[in-house]
Chains A and B, each alone.
Chain A
Amino acid sequence: MPDFLVLAIAAALGVALVAGPLGAFVVWRRMAYFGDTLAHSALLGVAAALWLQISPGFSVAAVCLILALVLIFLQHQSSLAIDTLLGILSHSSLALGLVAIYLIPGARTNLETLLFGDLLTVTAGEVAAIWFTGISVLLMVTLLWRQLLSITVHEDLARADGIAVNRVRNLLMLSLALVIAIAMKVVGVLLITALLVIPAATARRYARSPEAMAVFASLLGCLAVIVGIAASWFWDTPAGPSIVLAASLVFVFSLATKD
């Protein structure tokens, strides 16, 4: 197997593993559109990195996190419904990111790889960053599992139980921002939410407990990675979209086989 393929598989598996549990929370807390909004803002993070000549990983995570906090703030302040608010921020940040990229000389040639991922050119350093970030996030989610689940079930009950609801929620946002930052290379900004939501939704059909759902989502994500990259290798299809398509096919298969 050529080196670039090994690296691609390693990178995508790292993202799929951590996307499982986080995707479960995205599904339980109905944050799919929220995740989309954060992912779109990642483009702005890339533009900032190109402009400031820093590593895109940090600036993407930072921009996502800032947007998440702005959203939480606006949700409490604004009289607009949350989906309207998300619609405004999601597309504004995508448009702003696109404009910013076009204004930076030489950057516009990379646009397609930013939108749809560039898995097959991933470097060993990037793989290491993905696994380091992924394991850190997994560790955080595992340690905070009960608190995260409690605030998902009922925020006031969790607060009455003495859980620092806002801090736990912000840590979940931070995790999401970090996962978006590492998933960009794999599937691009437009398909990141799919990697979070589809394996988790598939896992729901087989899981009897929240823990099982999170683990199944990781495993199903890994399955989609293997199938997607294989398809990309044999039929010369783009790797990121092929992974998402594989995840969708597994979901359709689960619909057909259960109930």
Chain B
Amino acid sequence: MLLVVDSVSLHRNDKTLLDQVSFSLEKGRILTLIGPNGAGKTTLVKIILGLMKPDAGSVKRAPGIRIGYMPQRLVIDPTLPLTVGGFLKLTDRDPASCKTALDWAGVKALWLSPLYSLSGGETQRVMLARALLCKPDLLVLDEPVQGVDVAGQEQLYRLIARIRRDLGCGILMVSHDLHLVMAATDEVICLNQHVCCHGSPEQVSSDPEFTELFGNRTALYTHHHDHGHDLHGEIVSESGMAAANANRPSTGGRDSEKGTTADQVAARDNVGQG
């Protein structure tokens, strides 16, 4: 067992951010934390990394494990003339291992590129390469496909699957996207301050709590097509689930989902996985 999270709770300003969250992660497994924005996913990640302390409960990491961390966002001020190579060398002084890691992530050609000039997908891959530098036993990826287009997301998930296979590390992934991640994970935890449900992607996607949390967005999506209003504005104002919807990937390839439920979408993608 790489990681055991035991009834972790956290409160801030009378608000419960995390409520008795428990789970564990084995070597060689991919576990995905899924849930709307504000569900406490990033907070939980910070507690697991030891960057924050929980009010109650504990996080036990296997002794001596190396953790590679990929944060949610990297915002570089354009006034900082740091190259990709320079960025990686902040973590590992040896240029050879930095280049190997970049090669792993499929972005070796970016060695001399300025960090602030990268596209969303390139930035994510460079951060992934950085997380690989310590030869991790556990990879913690916070929203690894954020700011990446749909085609790039699938490639990135494939890369993550390959890293798991080749390095044999455990991977803890955070996502608020549903169906792509379902195909890329062994286990899913649906988090909304507390653990709503937990299991294989098939189990979770048929769980009533999961449907309650994510189900209504497909209905709204259909409604949108009937009327043709502004997509984000409509969803934000009507459902009160702004957080879950505001950051969805761009609409490309989404039309096929019209009229299906989240369950069906997830199920379809799982078929694709086999």
Contacts and interface: CB of A to CB of B under 8 A. Distances in A.
Interface of B: 46, 49, 51, 67, 69, 71, 74, 76-77, 79-83, 86-87, 90-91, 115, 130
B38 to A, nearest CB: 18
A27 interface: yes
Nearest to B77: A28
B51 A209 contact: no
A154 B69 contact: no
7 contacts: A153-B82, A157-B71, A157-B74, A207-B81, A208-B83, A209-B82, A210-B81
Contacts of A207: 81
Interface string A149-160: 110111011011
A91 interface: no
B126 to A, nearest CB: 12
A212 to B, nearest CB: 7
Q: Which of B46, B74, B77, B83 is packed against the most chain A CB atoms within 10 Å? A: B77
A146 B90 contact: yes
A154 B74 contact: yes
B79 A204 contact: yes
A156 B82 contact: no
B82 A160 contact: no
B47 to A, nearest CB: 12
Contacts, number: 51
Given A153-B80, A153-B90, 5 more contacts: A27-B77, A149-B90, A157-B71, A160-B67, A204-B79
Interface in A139-169: 146, 149-150, 152-154, 156-157, 159-161
Nearest to A163: B90
Nearest to A27: B79
Interface in A104-158: 146, 149-150, 152-154, 156-157
B79 A201 contact: yes
Given A150-B90, A160-B67, A204 B81 contact: yes
Contacts of B81: 204, 207-210, 212-213
Contacts of A153: 74, 76, 80, 82, 87, 90, 115
Given A28-B77, A209-B81, A160 B86 contact: no
